[in-house]
Amino acid sequence: MEDEKGDGNTNNNNNKNNNNKDDQDDDTTGSTTTTTTTTTATSSTTTTATTDDDDLLSKQTKNAGLKRLAELSLQDYQWRSDVWKTNQADRQVEQSLARMMGEENASYVRPMDASERSIGPLGVWEKTSVEWLSQVLEEEAHRAEQIVRLGGSLVRPMDQLDEDGRQLGPLGQLERRLVNFFESIRLSETERTKNAILRPKDLDASKRGPLGEAELQASQALQVFFQSEQIRAQLQSKIQDSIVRPIDVPGPLGDFEMAVLQIVQAEEQRQQQYKAQLQDEDGIPYSPATRYRPIRPMNANVPGPLGELEQQATEFVQRLTQEEKQRLRNIQKYLDDNRPMTKSRSTMLGTLETVVVGIVRAPILLYQIVRRVQTLLESEPLDEIDAEILLRLQQQQQDDDDDADGRNRKR
């Protein structure tokens, strides 16, 4: 019995020791878990702070680069502006000198510098393009100034400040139109999805976007087409003896057929006119050796659509040709007036032109001297009658000069 009690006490002591060890292990595990969680939270906070710092550094780098680019753009704009103002001032001086000399316009090279009366299509196009580009440069210079003033923050063309009453430039207007276009599409599609409307054209007119307007116009055109075809089918069912053509019913197909018919009729009449010129008044054809030029659509008795189109194209080409001929004459005059050997002979270009011109003209001058000597060698002495006439003329000229000198002395 005593042994059993002793064994029981020993087991109880072992159990207590095991429980104490388990409690210690649990405490150790809990402490380790708490430490790991704290370390993870600290690492997450550190990672977030590092990411924010990297984003801030990247943003500052981008702003600094954009600011530097804007400063370079301003320098380029200043240089271009100075060059443009200098060229404009020189051009105005040349025009003033030309008017003082009685000329309509100074010599020019660029098509846009022609006078208002002689300017052609190329000049008008270049003048319009230069005005548009100058507006773009002014707009971009203003935007670069704002970027520098804001420390490198991006400024879109449509978001430029209007504190000085400036209007949006070409790029700003273009971007504003594109943004409004896509924004109207987004709003209309959102409204259509919200109201569960299938077709874009079925939206209210105040909420309908570009897609709805395009679909509405296409739908209306198709309705007109279907209505005209239905009317033509009804007329065809009533008239069995002939065919009702699209031209007999108002509609898109009728308009197209009428245009094609006008072209065909004009070409047929032009062919008849060409055949008529191959025959005399009695209808007898000329010999095959006699050739005649074909009649162009614009020269036919009935020009038709093709003739009108050719006439417009011919007039445009004639204006363009006349403009380029006038510009070529002005270029030649400009080169003659601004040759380096006459304007700045001491420069390298002037010296080079002088040497080249001298080398080219030397053989020509030598040839002229040889021809003159040859002419003198081939000449014959004058006859007595011719010599007497020449002597009388010289004597008369001498007497006239003496009389003039005497009158001048008396005065």
Specify the pLDDT at position 40: 52
Residue 358 tokens read as 């001298």
User: 69-92, pLDDT tens digit by residue?
Assistant: 999 999 999 999 999 899 889 888
What is the per-residue pLDDT for 57? Answer: 72
Task: Render pLDDT for 88-127 as a digit per residue (tens, 0 to 9).
Answer: 898 889 889 888 888 888 888 889 988 888 888 999 999 9
**pLDDT of 383:** 74
User: Could you give the count of Cα atoms lying within 13 Å of 285 in the half-sphere of its Cβ?
Assistant: 8
pLDDT, residue 282, reads 60
- CB contact at 8 A, 302 and 270: yes
Enter the tokens of residue 92: 């105005």
In angstroms, rounded to a whole number, what is the distance separating the alpha carbons of residues 242 and 245? 9
What is this structure's pTM?
0.65
pLDDT for 240 equals 79
Q: What is the mean pLDDT of the chain?
A: 82
What is the predicted pLDDT for the residue at 16? 46
Calpha distance 121→323 (Å, rounded) = 8
Query: What was the pLDDT predicted at 34?
Result: 47
Q: What is the pLDDT of residue 214?
A: 94
Alpha-carbon distances, residue 51 vs 54, 55, 60, 286, 402 (angstroms):
5, 6, 14, 96, 111
Which stretches of the chain drop beneath a pLDDT of 70? 1-50, 52-54, 161-166, 280-292, 382, 408, 410-411
pLDDT, tens digit, 9 for 90 and up, residues 163-190: 555 678 899 999 999 999 999 999 999 9
Q: Say how many C-beta atoms besides its own lie within 10 A of residue 203's C-beta.
A: 19
Locate the domains of the chain by residue range: 21-155
